[in-house]
Structure 1
Amino acid sequence: MRLIADSGSSKTDWRGIDEQGQVSQFRGVGFNPYYQTPEEMATELNDEFLLNLKEDVKSVHYYGAGCSTPINKAGVVKTLQNLFSQAEIHVDHDLLAAARATCGHDAGISCILGTGSNSCDYDGKDIIDSRPSPGYILGDQGGGGYIGKKFLRDFINDDMPASLKEAVIERFQLTAEIIQDNVYRKPFPGRYMASFCRFITEHTHDPYCYLLYYNSFQDFFKMHVMRYANFEDKPVSFVGSVAFYNSDILRKAAADLNIHVHLILESPIAGLTLYHKNNL
């Protein structure tokens, strides 16, 4: 069996492909070696779905957020090897997952807009250029954490419409103290901030929420896509829930900058499954 994983900071999609090409699937928690130790990751991997497969798995193709450095890759490889002791382990960056899922063997610019954000210029085989992705504090333009951070800051500073703030308080019983506790004291503040995107998406009929997405997407295009050579001539594709559920705003923000958006997927896992299934 070949096991494929696409892991972001919030969730991991797993697919198992057996020798007959049959596919099994599971969704678990997300991982990021920048924020979690190998021991913490190992604990989360003790899931019934994975434990039931571990004796049958011959190879693991893991694509993960934070897996761009040799140290982080090595930690993830070691953790997976401990569980799947008989398998070949392949660990790659989630950008390669996005590129393979959206572009296949064609050239293009592939982007991630989920909890965080990232992008690359792909020649149909390899990533030939990418932009820095310094995380939710210093970067992640257009990602859920970036948008949620702006939203929560405006909530604290009374810089959003009063009616919208009342709706936030009614929905979440939110206070400035609760926000600060979750951002500064509790683990995974990026996930926490991104969790408000569902509410923001539900209220994009409000100009404040619409512009929050629109301006954040334009920040992403200017910091990422427009930095690539000949970006106007390349199809630009996206994976991630923020892009998928706000695709109309994303396409508008792109069109206003003469950027051609090609494909928008909620998750790359289907494209990755097809990619690896064809290579069985």
Structure 2
Amino acid sequence: MILIADSGTSKTDWRVIHRDGRISQHRGVGFNPYYMTSEEMAIQMRHDFLVNLESEIDQIYYYGAGCSAPDRKMEVANALGAIFRHAEIHIDHDLAAAAHATCGHQAGIACILGTGSNSCDYDGKNIVATRPAAGYILGDEGGGCYVGRKFLTDFIHEEMPVTIREAAIARFHITQDIIQDHVYRQPYPSRYMASFCRFITENKADPYCYSLYYNSFKDFFAKHIFKYPDFRQKPANFVGSIAYYNSDILRKAAADSGINVNIIIESPIAGLTLYHQEKL
């Protein structure tokens, strides 16, 4: 049996390809080895559905956020190896998943806009260039954490429309103290900040919420896409919930910037499943 994972900071999509060809699926919590140790990841995985499959999985193909550096890949491999002691484990970056799922065998730019953000230049076979992924404090332009952080900053400084501020208070019962406690003292602050994006998306008809996304996408283009050679001649493809549920704003910001957007999908897991079915 083959286990496939597409993991971001907020959630992980798991697919199991059974020996008879059946496919089962599950969505669980996210993992990022930059913010979690192998022990912490293993504990979360043992609480997930994976524990019921530990003796049946032969191969694991894990694509994850934060899995570009060898030492970070090892953290994830150790976590999976603690559960699946006899499986052959392959770890790759989430950018590889995005490129394979959206570009296929064609050249293009593959981008991730989920809780965080990232991008790569893909030649149809390999990733040939990337931009620095500076994380939720120093980067992640266009991602959910980045948008949510701007929203919470405006909330604290009362620099948003009164109607939006009052709706946020009614929905989340937030105050400055509560926000700062979650961001500075509680675990997983990036998930917390990104959690406000559903509210922002629901209210994107309001010019303030619309501009949060529009300007954040423009920031992403400036830090990422504009840095790739011939970016205007290459299709830009996007994976992630922020891109998918705000595709209208993303396409508008891209058109205004001279960027040709091709595919926007929420998750690459379906494409990865088809790819790895060939290995059975």
In the aligned structure 2, how far is the partner of 1:9 from the partner of 1:174?
Answer: 23
- Counterpart of 1:90 in structure 2 is 90
- Equivalent pairs, count: 280
**Where does 1:178-189 land on structure 2 (aligned, <5 Å)?**
178-189=178-189
In the aligned structure 1, how far is the partner of 2:276 from the partner of 2:123?
Answer: 19
Amino acid at match of 2:218: Q
**Where does 1:103-114 land on structure 2 (aligned, <5 Å)?**
103-114=103-114
In the aligned structure 1, how far is the partner of 2:263 from the partner of 2:42?
Answer: 34
Greater shift, 187-196 or 100-109, is seen at 100-109
Correspondence 1:55 to 2:43: no
Q: Is the 8 A contact 1:104 1:275 kept in 2?
A: no
Amino acid at match of 1:228: Y
The 3 A distance-change label for structure 1 pair 25 and 82 is: same
In the aligned structure 1, how far is the partner of 2:199 from the partner of 2:76?
Answer: 33
**Where does 1:156-235 land on structure 2 (aligned, <5 Å)?**
156-235=156-235
- Counterpart of 1:131 in structure 2 is 131
Amino acid at match of 1:65: A
Q: Percent identity?
A: 65
Greater shift, 128-137 or 16-25, is seen at 16-25
**Where does 1:249-264 land on structure 2 (aligned, <5 Å)?**
249-264=249-264
CA RMSD of aligned residues (A): 1.0
Once the 2 structures are TM-superposed, how far is the Cα of residue 9 of structure 1 from its aligned partner? Answer: 0.4
- Counterpart of 2:115 in structure 1 is 115
Once the 2 structures are TM-superposed, how far is the Cα of residue 48 of structure 1 from its aligned partner? Answer: 5.6
In the aligned structure 1, how far is the partner of 2:37 from the partner of 2:13?
Answer: 20
Give the SS at the match of 1:67.
coil
Deviations 1:171-199 (A, max 9, x none): 11111111000000101111000000000
When normalised by structure 1's length, the TM-score is 0.98
Deviations 1:29-69 (A, max 9, x none): 10011111111111111146312222121110001111111
- Counterpart of 1:270 in structure 2 is 270
In the aligned structure 2, how far is the partner of 1:66 from the partner of 1:191?
Answer: 15
- Counterpart of 2:78 in structure 1 is 78
5+ residue gaps, structure 2:
none
The 3 A distance-change label for structure 1 pair 151 and 70 is: same
Amino acid at match of 2:2: R
Q: Is the 8 A contact 2:28 2:48 kept in 1?
A: no
In the aligned structure 2, how far is the partner of 1:276 from the partner of 1:104?
Answer: 14
- What stretches of structure 1 move > 6 A for 4+ residues in a row? none
5+ residue gaps, structure 1:
none
- Counterpart of 2:145 in structure 1 is 145
Give the SS at the match of 2:41.
helix
Q: Is the 8 A contact 1:59 1:89 kept in 2?
A: yes
The 3 A distance-change label for structure 1 pair 49 and 147 is: same
Deviations 1:92-135 (A, max 9, x none): 11111111111122211000000000000011111100000010
Give the SS at the match of 2:82.
helix
Q: Is the 8 A contact 2:12 2:30 kept in 1?
A: yes
When normalised by structure 2's length, the TM-score is 0.98
